Amino acid sequence: MESYVSKVLDEIDIKILDLLQKESQINNAELARRVNLSPPATHTRIKRLESEGFIERQVAILNQEKLGFDLLCYIFISTNIHQSELLEKIEGSLATMSEVLECHCLTGEHDYLLKVVIRDRKELDYFIRKLNKLGISRIQTNLSLREVKNSTILPIVDNEQSC
């Protein structure tokens, strides 16, 4: 696989993005050292990468388990609705539910796939009731038994990484 180097992004930009997506609290001087540039030059590039939207946001990833979220579920849902106005309303409702971390419109037999974090069985029951109330006709819940990998790192540089 080759790196994504375009007219707008050179190798140094890619390197900066990669370092930041792995460890965003790295300080500017250290970042500059790793890309062989002066701190101000590096800083200017970061600001450009932010303003141009390559960096969407910087976040802290919290430990689900330590915070009491015992259940991670992937839930497939289907609706019988084909009216776009109603679908938008359902999507809006799904997006505002804080248990729903991800929601994707998918190819295949189901309409949407949800990634949902839940504390316990009781809350899962409550959540599925909420889905039913939205007018969702079919729900297929898959529980994660074990997390093998969970990363936000896009493969923008060649080397395979393990985290």
- The residues of the shown chain that bind its own copies, judged by CB under 8 A, are 1, 4, 17, 20-25, 52-64, 66-69, 72, 74, 91, 94-108, 112-113, 117, 119, 123, 140, 142-156, 159-162
Q: Among 14, 17, 45, 94, indicate the residue that binds DNA (CB under 7 A).
A: 45
Shortest distance (Å) from residue 163 CB to DNA? 22
Torsion, Cα 148 154 158 161, to 10 degrees, reads -30
15 lies in the site for DNA, by CB under 7 A: no
Count Cα neighbours of 118 within 13 Å in the Cβ-side half-sphere: 21
Place of tokens 């992004």: 9
CB of 25 to DNA, least distance (A): 8
142 binds DNA (CB under 7 A): no
Q: Does 29 bind DNA (CB under 7 A)?
A: yes
The item of DNA, its own copies, none sharing an interface with residue 68, based on CB under 5 to 8 Å by kind, is its own copies
Backbone phi and psi for residue 122, each to the nearest 5 degrees, phi listed first: -60, -45
For residues 23 and 26, what is the distance between their CA atoms, to the nearest angstrom?
6
Type of residue found at 103: C
Full DSSP string of 11-37: HHHHHHHHHHHH-TT--HHHHHHHTTS
**HSE (CB half, 13 Å, CA atoms) of 111?**
16
When asked if residue 41 is in the footprint of DNA (CB under 7 A), the reply is yes
* Residue closer to its own copies, measured from CB, 12 or 103: 103
Closer residue to DNA (CB): 7 or 122: 7
- Summarize as ranges the residues that interact with DNA (CB under 7 A): 12, 27-29, 36-41, 43-45, 47
